[in-house]
Structures are given as C-alpha cells and as structure tokens.
A and B are shown apart, each in its own frame.
Chain A
Amino acid sequence: MERIPILRMGDFLLVTIQVDMHDRLAMTLQDDLTRQIVASNSRGVLIDISSLEMIDSFIGRMLSNISLMSNVLAAQTVVVGMQPAVAITLVELGMSMPGVRTALNVEKGMMLLRECLDSDDSEVEDDAS
C-alpha cells in the first residue's frame, strides 16, 4: 500500500508531503503518525507542506487532527511551508484548522518545536519545586 514516509530525527518526526494525496492516503498518514509518536516516544512532529499546492477541507481536517492527537500524546506538531496562495484559499474556504501551529520553513519550525519543549520542561520543573 502507498504510504507517506515518516522520518525520525532524534526526538522529532519529520514528514514531507510531496504528492497530491487522495483521502485514504491522508487518513493513513494520520494513523501512521499517531502510532509513530507512541512507538518512538517523539516529542515533536514537523510536517512540511511546501510542495502542497492545495489544501481542501479534508486535508485541513487531517492536519488539524494530527495536531490535536499529538497534543494528547504529549507531543507538539508544527506545520511548515504553507504557500501564501494556499493560506489565502483556506481562509476563504472557512477552514480555521484549530490547534495547528505554523512556521515559515523547516528551520523555523524546528526552533518553534524546541521552544515549546523547553517551556514544557520548565513547567514540569516549576511544578516539582
């Protein structure tokens, strides 16, 4: 079965979406990522969508679900590289993608993930003291 590869980079998972996904492929990615977060004890997920030329309500919902699901599993998701035309179209479509954090590119996304994790860690320390 066709699958979108998930790369493991230390504590993080990296997914680069390079194909025009049909609906089942998007669902499979959502399931695979959820499983991978647990299996590799990941704390962050980066989803690079810079090659995506369109996000409709189905793909938008998948990105939103991944973000919400990762939060439940104590991980953060950052979606990076959304093209301006795609972003404008999403707004007009009425899709707000609740819970989705975005960054301009992979480097900025990685920084954002690190910041999120650092602040999570300090919260834990605060609670302990």
Chain B
Amino acid sequence: MMLLKSESLPIVSEQDIVRARQVARQWAIDLNFKLIDQTKFVTAVSELARNTLIYGRGGFMLLEAVEKDLRKGLRAVFEDRGPGIPDIEEALKDGFSTGNSLGLGLPGAKRLSNEFEIISQPGEGTRVTIARWT
C-alpha cells in the first residue's frame, strides 16, 4: 500500500466536525470518488468525528489518501484519549447509546465503509479506522 497524502485534523469543537467532513469531501473529489461514495464516506466521517468530540472528549482525525493494487482510497483514523468503550460489540449494535441518542453512528459508519476497525481500552481511549475505495 502506498501513502499518497496525509493530514491530521484536531477534533475539539463542533466546527471541527464540519471541517472534518469538508476536508474529507474535497479529498474524495480529488481522488475521483463517485458522488455516492463521497457522500457515504463524508457521512461516516461526520458520525465518527462527533463521537470523538462527545464521548472521547476530543481528539483528532488522521486522513490518508492511499493506493493499493492501482485502486485509490481514503482512510480516516479517529483517535481520542477518552474513557474508552467497555463493550465494543454492544456499542456496534443499532440503537445502543449511552448518550440518549439514536445509536446509529458506529454501526452506520461501519455499513458506509469498506473497512472498519475499532480498538478501545477502557480508561485509555478509542481508535476507530475506516476506509473506502474508489
């Protein structure tokens, strides 16, 4: 896998969520993502950035443009040093929320991505990685 470009964006305010999706959109356009793929990727980014801000108490998004077997893709890594997720399987269920919300962000972002990974350690933080290919 070849790294074409990467950028780290802080996620410490609501405006940073908007910024994260705008940068993700621009990079998806630059890589010639189809409109539907742009929209899916940007929506997943928005969900995960909000989780980083609200549950992770802030962190950052690392956005990477990559190329593998002549296919281009975008990868986004969301990392925080918040409380972590005690039960990842539970958190990935549709409708599970500790924030009195819809519980759609994590399972939705997973469905909207080609690759999805969560690593979380209670008390240490959470890292969610998604990727979408052209």
Contact = CB atoms under 8 A, between A and B. Distances in A.
Interface residues of B, number: 26
B94 A93 contact: no
Given A20-B21, A94-B94, A57 B105 contact: yes
Contacts of A22: 14-15, 17-18
Contacts of A56: 43, 46-47, 50
B39 A53 contact: yes
Contact of A57 (B18, B40, B102): B102
Given A54-B21, A94-B94, A89 B104 contact: no
A43 B129 CA distance: 45
B112 A85 contact: no
B36 A89 contact: yes
B50 A58 contact: yes
Interface in B16-57: 17-18, 21-22, 25, 35-36, 38-40, 42-43, 46-47, 50
Contacts of B42: 53-54
A93 B39 contact: no
A125 interface: no
Interface string B106-134: 01100110000000000000000000000
A123 interface: no
Interface string A64-101: 00000000000000000001011011001111000000
Interface in A86-129: 86, 88-89, 92-95
Contacts of B39: 53-54, 83, 85-86, 88-89
B101 interface: yes
Interface of A: 20-24, 53-58, 61, 83, 85-86, 88-89, 92-95
Interface of B: 14-15, 17-18, 21-22, 25, 35-36, 38-40, 42-43, 46-47, 50, 94, 101-102, 104-105, 107-108, 111-112
